[in-house]
C-alpha cells in the first residue's frame, strides 16, 4: 500500500501541469523552433523537386529532440549564473521549479534519444552534424562565454549548422555550395543578433561574468566593427542562392530588401551606439531570418 502511495504521488507530481510547463520551458522552445525552421529549409532545398515528407518528419523529430536537450543542458550548465540575471532568473532551474539533477537527466536523455533516432531512422551524416552542433555549443561556446567575446563567433557555428543538418538528412552528404551558403546566411545573421542582445542586456551579462561584448569598449566602437561587416557581407551571400540557381528573383528581391533594412539598423547602431539603437537592431534581427526563410519557401511554391 505504501509503495502504491509513493508511486501515485510521484506520478501525480510528474503529471502536474506546472512541472510539465517547466520542462517545456527548459527546452527553450523559441530557439528550438528557429533551429527546426532552419533545418527544414536545408532539407527542402537539398531535396530538390522530390521532397520525402516522411523522412523530413523523422529529421524534424530527431533534430527537435537533440536541440531541446542541448538547450536544456545549457541551462543546467549555467543555472547559477542565470540566477544572477534579471532576464534569466525565472528559468526553471534557478527558480527551483526543476532541480539541477532532474534537468541534467532530462537533457541527456533527449540528446541521446535524438542522436540514436537520427542515425537509425534518417542517416549517419545527419546524426553526425547534430552531434557536432551539440558538442561545439556545450563543450566550447558555453564555457567560452565567460572567457572572451570570441564566443559570439564560436556560438555562431553550431547556430548555423541546422540547415546543414537538414541538407544532410535529405541527401546523405555535405558536398554542396548552396548548403554552405545557407550556413553562411545564418552565421552572419547571428553575430549582429547576439551582439545587439548583449548590448541591450550588457549590465545583466556583466554582473553574471559573461564576456558577450568586446573588452574596454564603453562607446561601442569595437562592437560596431564586429556587427557592420557581417551585415554588409550578408548582401552578396544572400545573392549566392540566386547565383547558384537554387532560388529565383522573388527570393532575391525579398532577401536583399530584408538585408538592406537589417544593414540600415546596423548603421544606426554604429552611429549612435546606445541602448535604444541596439534594441532596434535586436528587433530587426528577430524578424530577419524568419523573413528570409519565408521568401525561400514562397519562391519555391510560387515560381
Does 161 share its domain with 227?
no
- Domain-located, residue 7: no
CB atoms within 10 A of CB 291: 16
pLDDT at 7: 52
Of 303, 291, 297, whose CA–CA distance to 256 is shortest?
291
Question: 2-14 pLDDT, tens per residue?
Answer: 445 445 555 555 5
- State which residues form the domain around 138: 16-174
Of 196, 229, 231, 228, whose CA–CA distance to 213 is shortest?
196
- Distances 79 to 76, 89, 92, 100, 283 between C-alpha atoms, Å: 5, 8, 9, 8, 26
Of 35, 13, 33, whose CA–CA distance to 22 is shortest?
13
Q: Is the pLDDT of residue 136 over 70?
A: yes
- Domain-located, residue 8: no
| DSSP three-state, residue 98 | coil
pLDDT at 14: 52
Of 116, 131, 124, 194, whose CA–CA distance to 161 is shortest?
131
pLDDT grade, residue 1 (50/70/90)? very low
- Domain-located, residue 205: yes
Residue tagged 525579398 (cell numbers): 254
Question: 195-229 pLDDT, tens per residue?
Answer: 999 999 998 898 889 999 999 898 999 999 999 99
180: domain CATH number is 1.20.120
- Number of domain units in the chain: 2
Does 199 share its domain with 226?
yes
* 0.85 exceeded by pTM: yes
| Residue 167 to residue 267: CA distance in whole angstroms | 33
- Domain-located, residue 6: no
| Residue 278 to residue 26: CA distance in whole angstroms | 27
pLDDT at 8: 54
Where among 154, 174, 194 does a domain terminate?
174
Query: Quick one: average pLDDT of 91-113?
Result: 95
- Distances 17 to 14, 29, 102, 110, 278 between C-alpha atoms, Å: 8, 17, 16, 20, 37
179 and 172 Cβ atoms separated by less than 8 Å: no
pLDDT at 10: 53
- Domain-located, residue 170: yes
Phi-psi region of 57 (alpha: psi -120 to 50; beta: other; left: phi over 0): alpha
> Exposed, middle or buried: residue 154 (CB in 10 Å: 0-12, 13-18, 19+)?
middle
Amino acid at each position: 500500500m505504501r509503495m502504491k502511495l509513493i508511486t501515485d504521488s510521484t506520478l501525480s507530481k510528474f503529471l502536474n501541469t506546472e512541472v510539465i510547463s517547466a520542462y517545456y520551458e527548459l527546452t527553450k522552445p523559441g530557439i528550438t523552433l528557429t533551429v527546426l525552421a532552419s533545418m527544414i529549409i536545408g532539407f527542402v532545398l537539398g531535396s530538390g523537386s522530390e521532397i520525402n515528407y516522411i523522412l523530413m518528419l523523422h529529421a524534424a523529430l530527431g533534430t527537435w529532440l537533440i536541440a531541446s536537450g542541448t538547450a536544456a543542458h545549457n541551462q543546467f550548465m549555467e543555472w547559477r549564473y542565470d540566477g544572477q540575471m534579471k532576464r534569466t532568473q525565472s528559468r526553471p532551474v534557478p527558480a527551483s521549479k526543476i532541480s539541477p539533477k532532474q534537468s541534467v537527466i532530462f537533457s541527456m536523455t533527449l540528446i541521446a534519444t535524438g542522436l540514436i533516432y537520427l542515425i537509425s531512422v534518417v542517416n549517419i551524416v545527419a546524426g553526425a552534424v547534430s552531434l557536432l552542433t551539440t558538442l561545439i555549443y556545450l563543450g566550447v561556446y558555453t564555457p567560452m562565454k565567460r572567457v572572451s567575446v570570441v564566443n559570439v563567433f564560436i556560438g555562431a557555428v553550431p547556430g548555423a549548422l541546422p540547415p546543414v543538418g537538414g541538407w544532410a538528412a535529405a541527401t546523405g552528404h555535405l558536398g554542396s555550395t548552396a548548403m554552405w551558403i545557407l550556413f553562411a546566411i545564418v552565421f552572419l545573421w547571428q553575430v549582429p543578433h547576439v551582439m545587439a542582445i548583449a548590448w541591450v542586456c550588457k549590465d545583466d551579462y556583466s554582473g553574471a561574468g559573461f564576456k558577450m561584448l568586446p573588452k574596454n569598449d564603453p562607446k561601442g566602437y569595437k562592437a560596431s566593427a564586429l556587427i557592420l561587416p557581417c551585415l554588409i557581407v550578408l548582401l552578396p551571400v544572400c545573392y549566392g542562392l540566386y547565383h547558384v540557381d537554387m532560388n529565383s528573383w522573388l527570393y532575391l528581391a525579398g532577401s536583399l530588401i530584408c538585408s538592406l533594412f537589417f544593414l540600415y539598423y546596423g548603421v544606426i547602431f554604429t552611429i549612435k551606439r546606445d541602448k535604444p539603437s541596439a534594441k532596434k537592431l535586436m528587433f530587426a534581427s528577430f524578424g530577419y531570418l524568419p523573413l528570409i526563410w519565408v521568401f525561400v519557401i514562397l519562391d519555391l511554391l510560387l515560381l
